[in-house]
Amino acid sequence: MARTLVLATRNRKKLEEMIAILQGLPADLKALDDFGSVPAVPETGETFEENARAKALGYARATGRWALADDSGLEVDALGGLPGVRSSRWGGEEGNDRLNNETLLAALAGRPRNTWTARYRCVMALATPEEVLATTEGACEGRITDRPAGSNGFGYDPYFRLPERGCTMAELEPEVKNRLSHRYRALAAMRKLLEKIL
């Protein structure tokens, strides 16, 4: 019988990415919503790893199943690594992409363009209700642009330019993004571990 693995996110687009990358594992992939009104695990950590570990363990305990959770965000060099762990709520409202992107551009205004280098970073954590079993990490390097482009993706994707591709993350087709993204890299590493564990 396949082990149930809870993909611990309520972000629909993130969930779709995770399912696409984990397809074919000997596991019954479930969404958090499949378990009713599971309370949100607070993100109080100062690092992506602290938050990912807390969420994986918290949701594993809440559902009684193994859980896979991530914490990810944008690190901009000119801003000393901000918004970092506060990426999804940087504008003051959780998940408001427009506000977050306005806050990003306002923070970069007046800073030299050559310092607008950035990366998406993701840490994945796998936990049982008793303990965290493993963590993996992935990053994707790029630059911030003040000319948004593309309608694929979410979050900061329209402003995150991939110089070697000559386009933003939001201009990539989903299957291409899924091979380049920070989440893909963290998940691909986690998938290898899960293949052994399962």
Q: Which residues are catalytic?
A: 71
Q: Give the whole-angstrom CA distance, residue 168 versus residue 145.
A: 9
Selection from 29, 38, 34 nearest residue 7 by Cα: 29
One-character DSSP codes across 69-82: EEEEEEEEGGGTT-
Name the pairing type of β-strands 66-76 and 167-168.
Answer: unpaired
CB-based contact 103:87 (threshold 8 Å): no
Name the pairing type of β-strands 160-162 and 132-144.
Answer: antiparallel
- The pair of structure tokens assigned to 69 is 């959770």
